[in-house]
Amino acid sequence: MARIVEAPKRGFERIGAHSHIKGLGLRDGKALRIADGLVGQVEAREAAGIVVSMVREGKMAGRGILLVGPPGTGKTAIAIAIAKELGKDTPFVALSGSEVYSAEMKKSEVLMQAMRKAIGVRIREYRKVYEGMVVDLDVQMTRHPYNPYQQVPKSAKITLKTRNEQKTLRTDETVAIELINKGVGIGDVIWIDAETGRVAKLGRCIEAPREEVYDIEAEEKVPLPQGPILKDKEFVHTVTLHDLDVMQARSSGGLFSLLFGGGETREISNEVRQRVDGLVREWVDEGRAEIIPGVLFIDDVHMLDIEAFSFLSRAMESELAPIIILATNRGLTRIRGTDIESPHGIPLDLLDRLLIIRTRPYTEDEIKEIIKIRAREEKVALSDEALEYLTKLGAMHSLRYAVQLLTPAFEVARKEGRDRVMVTDVERVKGLFVDVTQSVRYLKEYEEQFLK
C-alpha cells in the first residue's frame, strides 16, 4: 500500500534588507533606544520625527531632506521609517542616483516619473447600486438575430433581499448577460450598478438555503446585507499621479492607439501632465479626491549631475511635489558635470533648501541589538557566543558584513544537523566570504594577474 507523505506548507517569503522597519520608534517626540526596528541614531530619528510633523501640517513646501553619514549607518532605514510614520497608504519610491542614467529616457523624465509615482491620489466615488441576496432569478431567452438555432438572453427578472427589504427588478439584455457571465445563482450576494448595469458577485450568503451539502466548498461566505436594496455605495480607489498620466496618455493616443493598443509611451508630454493636474484639482475641490504626499528617496545623490540637481531644485517648489529625501555618504567631492567641489557633491543653492540630518557610526552595543533584530527577521537562531563574535566582526569590519553572514552561517549549521548557529559556523563562512579589507588585500597580492 502506498504511503502518502504530506509535504510541509511553505508560502513565498522574501525578506528585505529593511523589512523589519515599522516606524521611527518615537514617544512624545523622543526616540526610544530600541523601537520599531530601529536602534540608536537618536538625533537623526528625532529630527525625522519633526519632519513628519511638518509634513502632516503641510509645512514642507519648498524644502527637502538630506541624510548624510558613513555607509551602513541607517540612512535608508530612516527614509523608510518616515514613510511608515506618514501612513500605510503613503507611496514610497526609492531611486539610486545611477539609475537616472541607465534608463532609456531623458534624465528629467526619469526624475519626473519618479516624483509622480510618489504622489498618491485617493479617489472616492459614490454610486447608486442595488445590493442584496438573490432570492429568485428568471432569465428570458430569445433567438439570436443572425442565428435562429442559438438562444441569447433577452431580459431578466431578479428578486433581491436584505434584512430590511425585498424587491423584484426587471433588467435589460445587458444586465442579463452580466448575470450569466458572472455565474449568479440563487443565494448569491450581488450588487448591480444602477447607471451602468455592471454586476459584481460578492460571494455566497451565509443564510442562503442549502439545497445540496458539499464536503469541499471554495466559494466565499458573506453575511446578508442590511438596509434598503437601492443605496449609495462608496468606492475608494488609490492611484498615483503617474498612473493617471499613463491612462491620460493612452486615451489621447488617437484612433490607432484605441484600436491596436499602441498607447505605451516611454515619455509623457507636459500637456498630458497639466491635464491630469487640472483634473485632480477639480476632484479635490469637489471633495471627490484627496492628495497623499509620498516619499521620493534618492540614494547616492552625489551621482546626479548639475542638470539633475537644477531639476530637483525647481521641482521642490511645485504644488504637487512629494517629500524628497536625498542620501549620500560622500564628503567634499566634485559636482558631476562640473569642476566645482562642494559638500556631498551637491550644489550650494540646493543645499540651502535642504534640512540636513546626520547619522553616526553605531556603537558595539547598538551593533549587537541590530544583529539580534535581523536574526529574528531572518529566522536565524544564534548562540550567545555566535552573537558576541558577530558583534565583534561588525565593530571591526562593518555592520553590513556581520549581517550578511547571518543566513550563510545558518545554512552551514543546518548542514551540520543543528538549528542554532555556533561560533564555528560563523568562522566557517567568514573564511568563505571576505570583507572589503580582505578583498583589497587580495587585489594587491595578485595585482599583476588582474586585467587592467
SS3 sequence of 265-295: CCCCCHHHHHHHHHHHHHHHHCCCEEEEECE
Hunting for cell 540636513 — which residue is that? 356
- Cell of residue 422, nine digits: 555556533
> Hey, what CATH class is 364-445 in?
mainly alpha
* Whether residue 7 has pLDDT greater than 70: no
Percent of the chain with pLDDT over 90: 0
CA distance 432 to 26: 40
The CATH number of domain 32-105+294-358, selected from 3.40.190.10, 3.40.50.300, 3.40.50.360, 3.30.1280.10: 3.40.50.300
Predicted confidence band of residue 36 (pLDDT cuts 50, 70, 90): confident
For residue range 125-152, list pLDDT tens digits in order.
778 888 888 888 888 888 877 777 777 7
Per-residue pLDDT tens over the stretch 104-113:
778 888 888 8
Comparing 212 with 63, the larger pLDDT belongs to 63
C-alpha cell at 449: 594577474
pLDDT(10) > 60: no
**CA 442 to the chain's CA centroid:** 40
DSSP output for 107-175 = HHHHHHHHHHHTEEEEEEEEEEEEEEEEEEEEEEEEE-SS-TT-EEEEEEEEEEE-SS-EEEEEE-HHH
Task: Report CA torsion sign: 248, 249, 250, 255.
Answer: positive
Residues 6+ apart with CB under 8 A from 163: 224, 225, 226, 227
Please, which pLDDT band fits residue 213 given cuts at 50, 70 and 90? low
pLDDT band at 4 (very low <50, low <70, confident <90, very high): very low
* Higher pLDDT, residue 47 or 38: 47
pLDDT of residue 447 exceeding 50: yes
Domain boundaries, the chain: 32-105+294-358, 125-210+219-236, 364-445
Pairing of strands 221-222, 188-193: unpaired
CATH fold of 125-210+219-236 reads: OB fold (Dihydrolipoamide Acetyltransferase, E2P) (2.40.50)
Residue 268 pLDDT greater than 60, yes or no: yes
Inform me whether the pLDDT recorded for 56 exceeds 60. yes
- Residue 307 scores a pLDDT above 70: yes
